[in-house]
Copies of this chain bind each other. A is one copy, B any other.
Amino acid sequence: MPGGQALLSGDVRALARAISAVEEQRPRAVALLRDVFPRTGRATVLGLTGSPGSGKSSLVDRLVAGYREEGRKVGVVAVDPSSAFSGGAILGDRIRMQRHARDDGVFIRSMATRGHLGGLARATNDAVDLIDAAGFDPILVETVGVGQDEIEVVRTADVVAVVLVPGMGDDIQAIKAGILEIADLFVINKADHPGADKLEAELAYMLDLVEGDERSRPAIVRTVAVRGEGIDELREAVRAFLDSAGRERRLARRRERAEARLRAVLAERVVRWVVERTFPRGAWDGVVEDIAARRVDPYTAVEGLIERLEVR
């Protein structure tokens, strides 16, 4: 498998082609993933999420520069299912990232698969594996929005940073349980804006309410990404989290990621198999027609299908 070999040796063009193959579910994609799989699981995956406009791309840009100074090869995956709608600000951020474009030690990729039912999460995890196999570490996974699929991708990273900004409504009312669950650390970006103190105080108060155990409380780091302020502190907080979380927690997170991947692949493949096998040509369209005409509901239709399945 020449593509696999080139990829494992860190060839970025082979890597880019491999990710495209995975995204488009080309036949060679599975063989490629299988090939490189034993060489994955080494990179630290850092997930960054938060509202649009919170400056995640600038943060990522600065983090990349910081990790490069440490001499590490850095991968970036921007998960952006909404690219069709994304505004100039986001485009501008992307362009800013271009300053790393000529650096072979930085690999940047946007994922915008418009697949069905978790296809984005599946493709993104596959891409992370490929980038990992190519020797990049850490890998930053940045979500552009905060949709369900994007959260799904980020929450199983080795460390999850949630980015908030003062005065954008990310206040006490808006920060609901979900965000606390997935955050290993919080970043208050644009910390030079009014309201940063208030946001930090509210966040700390809320974390105290929820956690109870002082040691496990996520750190709160203040940054002004566009000026590069607080980036060293953020990298330090990431490192501290990974150290203190320990091997047990890291393994638990990786099991979670493995399970999410198994479920995603299962959903894609099993559904395809079942549709192909249980619906002779035309029968599928007939069922769709019946549902559209309200003659049968989808639950009853699926139940009838499941009754015909057997496990050897």
Contacts and interface: CB of A to CB of B under 8 A. Distances in A.
A280 to B, nearest CB: 10
Contacts of A278: 311
**Copies of this chain held together in the complex:** 2
A209 interface: no
Interface in A73-102: 81-91
A117 B115 CA distance: 11
A116 B152 contact: yes
Nearest to A49: B85
A105 to B, nearest CB: 24
Contacts of A257: 292
Contact of A267 (B81, B88, B89, B117): B117
Contact of A287 (B147, B262, B275): B262
A135 interface: no
Interface stretch (A7-15, A199-207, A228-236, A298-306): A298-306
A288 interface: yes
Contacts of A41: 292-294
Nearest to A42: B294
B298 A261 contact: yes
Nearest to A303: B269
Nearest to A89: B169
A33 interface: yes
Contacts of A6: none
A49 B178 CA distance: 23
Interface in A282-312: 287-289, 291-294, 296-303, 305-306, 308-312
Contacts of A66: none
Question: Which one of A49, A171, A266 has the highest number of Cβ atoms from chain B below 10 Å of its Cβ?
Answer: A266
Contacts of A306: 269-270, 273
17 contacts: A33-B299, A34-B300, A40-B294, A82-B145, A84-B177, A85-B146, A85-B174, A91-B169, A118-B118, A147-B148, A147-B149, A251-B292, A255-B292, A258-B289, A259-B288, A269-B302, A310-B310
